[in-house]
Structure 1
Amino acid sequence: MTTGSTPGSPPSQGSQRKRGSTKDSVALYAVQCYKCYKWRTVPKEEFETLRENFTKDPWFCSRRPDCSCEDDADIEYDSSRIWVLDTPNIPKPPPETERLVIMGGDYTRMDTYYVMPNGKRARCAGDVDKFLEANPAYKSRISASDFDFAPPEVVEETVVSHNFLPLQGCQGQETGEGREAHKIGESREASML
């Protein structure tokens, strides 16, 4: 992650994320209840499972132990963080890989990468094919069709000048549009990682 910058200004060049970083821009994941529309935080692994089957199996507060629609939301949808929408039904990352979404420096887009078993990033199906050619032992367990590089869409109205601070965040699912939302960034001081 980068170090702090003054509110309203982009991070300085010295504070930019290093190119080889395997850190996600997303630090907190959330899902929206299909019944009450309240946001509940979930671990990344659970989020990836929910996202994989989102349209067939919507999420309800009652799935979480000791939680109901009567409880306050864990987080609120507002412009205190940058929200991005992800496509539902993206498959879980194959074993020994990790899906990363990285916020672009101009806060208008997200990039999707997969960290492969050798630690290198794949940015497209062609990179996965190259990995499999160089590592044929994985061909029986991984194919390029197991990966979805569709980038999440940044929700423009949540990108306001005070959000141009170091990124931390949250990711969740929005049932109203049948899409998932990632919630990104307060300030660097908010250690949500």
Structure 2
Amino acid sequence: MKDAQETPKTSSKIPKVKQGSVDIYAAQCKTCLKWRVIDTVEEFEGIREKVIEEPFYCSRKPKVCCEDPADIEYDATRIWVIDKPNLPKAPEGFRRSLVLRKDYSKLDPYYITPTGKTLRTRNEIAAFIKGHPEYEGIPLTKFNFSSPKIMEDTIPEVVEKKSSANANKRIKISKDAI
């Protein structure tokens, strides 16, 4: 018999990841290479949008310098993804969302409109803007659907990773095997 105070164990071998969530935004200092937590997605997108012309430095955060310990360490306690530099900031009222595929192979980017509609392609964005004249001035170049790179060394070992050579192969089952 199970003790009432014992914590139940789950049978799942793959950690549960809330789909579409990024729990921490961080930027790496160009000088010391330490990771600094960025407080808001808006601030992170602002850094990412201009990171080539204006690299991130620890001193950009109030009361922080390179001698301070890192805010967060790069390790396998969470899944790390790296966005491409200079991606545009989501237009005012829109929100960029990333959804992790169940097989951990990719993050799919989407945009949430000010009305709450989820848009998955540039054509859907164009149709939305055409149907909502109040957003006509927003250029389509402000919407970028490139996917961040998943750092494979941070994917849990229990996740079966796809090999590119086997990704498109189909398994045939002979009638004799059934």
Contact 1:7 1:162 in 2 (8 A): no
Following the alignment from structure 1 to structure 2, what is the Cα–Cα distance between the partners of residues 16 and 5?
Answer: 17
CA distance in 1, matches of 2:77, 2:135: 42
Give the residue type in structure 2 aligned to 1:158: T
What one-letter code is carried by the residue in structure 1 that aligns with 2:34?
Answer: K
Query: Over aligned residue pairs, what C-alpha RMSD do you find?
Result: 2.3
Query: Does the alignment pair 1:158 with 2:154?
Result: yes
Cross-structure match for 2:38: 42
Greater share of residues in strand? 1
State the TM-score, normalizing by the size of structure 2: 0.77
Q: 1:137 offset after TM fit, Å?
A: 2.5
Is 1:77 matched up with 2:85?
Answer: no
For residues 9-88 of structure 1, the aligned pairs below 5 Å read 9=14, 11=16, 24-43=20-39, 44-88=41-85
Task: Indicate conservation of the 8 Å contact 2:14/2:159, yes or no.
Answer: no
SS of match in other structure, 1:57: coil
Tell me, yes or no, if the aligned pair for 1:7 and 1:161 is still in contact at 8 Å.
no
Which blocks of at least 5 consecutive residues in structure 1 are unaligned?
18-23, 165-193
- Paired residues of 1:111 and 1:151 also in contact (CA < 8 A): yes
TM-superposed CA distance for 1:136, in Å, is 2.2
More RCO (CA 8 Å, sep 6+)? 1
Q: Is the 8 A contact 2:98 2:109 kept in 1?
A: yes
User: What number of residue pairs does the alignment pair up?
Assistant: 151
**What is the SS of the residue equivalent to 2:42?**
helix
Question: Letter of the aligned partner of 2:90 in structure 1?
Answer: P
TM-score normalized with structure 1 length:
0.71
Deviations 1:148-174 (A, max 9, x none): 11011111111123689xxxxxxxxxx
5+ long unaligned stretches in structure 2: 1-8, 161-178
Q: CA deviation at 1:7?
A: 5.8
The answer on whether the counterparts of 2:95 and 2:112 sit within 8 Å (CA) in structure 1 is yes
In the alignment, the residues of structure 2 paired with residue 163 and residue 76 of structure 1 have an alpha-carbon distance, to the nearest angstrom, of 22
Larger Rg computed on CA atoms: 2
- SS across alignment from 2:48: helix
Given the superposition, is the C-alpha separation of residues 156 and 5 from structure 1 closer, same or farther in structure 2, using an over 3 Å criterion? farther
2:58–2:65 Cα contact (<8 Å) kept: yes
Deviations 1:100-154 (A, max 9, x none): 11111111110101101221111111010110122123212x2322111101111
